[in-house]
A and B are shown apart, each in its own frame.
Chain A
Amino acid sequence: MEKKDTRSGFGDGLLELGKQMGNVVALCADLTKSMKMEAFRNHCPDRFFQVGIAEANMIGIAAGMTIGGKIPYTGSFANFTTGRVYDQIRQSIAYSNKNVKICASHAGLTLGEDGATHQILEDIGLMKMLPNMTVICPCDYNQTRAATIAIANHYGPVYLRFGRPKLPVFTSKNDTFEIGKSVVMKRGRDITIIATGHLVWESIIASDFLLKKGIDAEIINVHTIKPLDKDTILDSIASTRAVVVAEEHQINGGLGDSIAQLLSIYMPTKMKSISINDMFGESGDPYLLMQKYKIDYQSIVNSALNLLSDCKK
């Protein structure tokens, strides 16, 4: 299977928007190459703004550019464009409901060798807590490209999260992207695996292993963490009555929290969380880190088996 990085999906989607929509502008804080924003810059030089190493200013400028009808896309690493500039996002974008698309690469552990200073694992929580904010975490190159384009036609602040490593491209180029509508990747009877970002791919591998053990897992790709697609999630869990949630994020504040809250209100169900257990990361090879911090497919398999054996007791 072809492998591509999700940030290239962002870069290619942004270029397409640049060609199609004259009101789309882009800002970047000294990471044009890493963010794959060079193509947009070269094609639309008058609508690209290098802001230097000044993320707070970038957020403010983006908010201001909406006044006059622009749709700004800001690009930086997830760490520097969420936690570092939280108050700027909160006041100038979220509370002011500005049409800014905050686009973040290098999220999570799989940034790899740069280590914990750069591996933000709290960004989804930070962003989903803000009223007016839509939070999207696509699963592969094609879905990131489609999401990048789709959010231009949605009025309001969006946090779009993607990552550094090259990953299998397993969705189709022609799949439509609907904000807030989860995708059932595989039907199954015995357990629901809910995943976001590249953990969807890990869940697909996990489901093959589970099938060999006679367990038929349903897989839901929750690319939009907020607003959450309650119907698709509850429909699935109503029939499987067991759920594993997988994400590259802290256990506190991530997708797992959102699912647990939903279930506790509508459908109390036993659940296991594949996430980072209240720890900072470290330097290393991305996949070895996923194994060490237990967010790889093997951890999903183990959690599913444990959960199903708990349910039988």
Chain B
Amino acid sequence: MFKLIKKLENISIQVRRDVLRMIYYAKSGHPGGSLSATDMLVVLYFHIMNHSNKFSIDGINEDIFFLSNGHISSLWYSVLARCGYFPLEELKTFRKINSRLQGHPTNAEELPGIRISSGSLGQGLSVALGAALSKKINNDKKIIYIMLGDGELQEGQIWEAAMFAAHYKIDNIISIIDCNGKQIDGNVDDIISLENLYYKWQSFGWNVVEIYKGNNIENIIIGVKYAKSLLGNNKPIVILLKTQMGYGVDFMVDDHNWHGMSLNEIQIKKALNQLKTDLKDY
């Protein structure tokens, strides 16, 4: 376990380097949420999910991941590239013209690993539930994972989907809320409070798992494995992942201004100095 955690921590640091370098070179992007969700995505793709980098859109007999808060695309692209879905070199094209790495993820450019477009918030949970139903009809026992932002829960469609999932007892899905507590204009609780998310999801008929240290690899592994143990019990599962926006870079932590802002030359140097690994930059 110790060796595994060290390995995943190392990958997380490298992914954070990728994310910041991509955003720096693109002169735009969304570092805050990308850094808060990094550890979960690394655990899912490098340890938990049963998936193949020989990509097929239907993902038959594979676990499938969806990203509803598509603005943290730089994170997903780095993880996919480091899993071998496409060449690492391609990360250089992020947000540039003629790239498959669009500002927000899309299958329209046929980038391996991506099955649908996301970015306009609130739509991903419905999509993931559709894919979960498809798996059930196909008698495919693999799992759907989906990540959403906490601010995104202000979209009404999420709650339509939440009701639907419980009604249809969709128990082959693990939905992960990245609770970094921030959105573009400030603190989620100051903008439109989500109140008690645990009771909210529970009252909507979901099994709720809380991971209090959502940037700690060991805690994430334990939490996700526990969530997996609840699969197949006639209830959908949601993980409330308590994270920090900008985790890993001291001047970005918990600052909502880093939702969608690039770094200048001094900032990127300072940030990369805090993220040392023995892996190689793209």
Which residues of A line the B interface, CB within 8 A? 25, 46-47, 49, 51-52, 54, 56-70, 72, 87-88, 90-92, 95-98
Contacts and interface: CB of A to CB of B under 8 A. Distances in A.
B60 A92 contact: no
Contacts of B157: 54, 56-57, 60, 88
Interface string B132-148: 11110110100000000
A64 B131 contact: yes
Contacts, number: 117
B160 A95 contact: no
B222 interface: no
A90 B104 CA distance: 14
Interface stretch (B12-20, B89-97, B114-122, B188-196): B114-122
Contacts of B122: 56
Contact of B160 (A46, A54, A64, A65): A54
A65 to B, nearest CB: 4
Interface stretch (B22-30, B31-39, B161-169): B161-169
A61 B126 contact: yes
Contacts of B129: 60-61, 64
A64 B137 contact: no
The 5 closest A-B CB pairs, nearest first, are: A64-B130, A60-B126, A68-B134, A57-B160, A54-B160
Contact of B116 (A47, A58, A59, A64): A64
B59 A56 contact: no
Nearest to A98: B116
A95 B116 CA distance: 9
Contacts of B106: 95-96
Contact of B120 (A47, A66, A70, A87): A87
B133 A92 contact: no
Given A60-B126, A64-B131, A96-B106, A52 B163 contact: yes
Contact of A57 (B131, B137, B138, B164): B164
A68 B168 contact: no
B123 A68 contact: no
Contacts of B124: 60
5 contacts: A52-B163, A59-B126, A67-B127, A87-B123, A88-B126
A91 B117 CA distance: 6
A75 to B, nearest CB: 16
B41 interface: no
A60 B123 CA distance: 6
A67 B58 contact: yes
Contacts of A49: 133, 168
A64 B128 contact: yes
Contacts of B133: 49, 61, 64-65
B138 to A, nearest CB: 6
Given A64-B131, A66-B130, 5 more contacts: A46-B137, A60-B123, A64-B128, A97-B107, A97-B108
A64 B138 CA distance: 14
Q: Which of A52, A70, A91 has the most CB of B within 10 A?
A: A91
A21 to B, nearest CB: 13
Contacts of B156: 56
Contacts of B167: 52
Contacts of B4: none
For B106, B123, B161, which residue has the most chain A Cβ atoms within 10 angstroms? B123
A95 B126 contact: no
B184 interface: no
A91 B119 contact: yes
A91 B125 contact: no
Given A52-B163, A57-B126, A67 B131 contact: yes
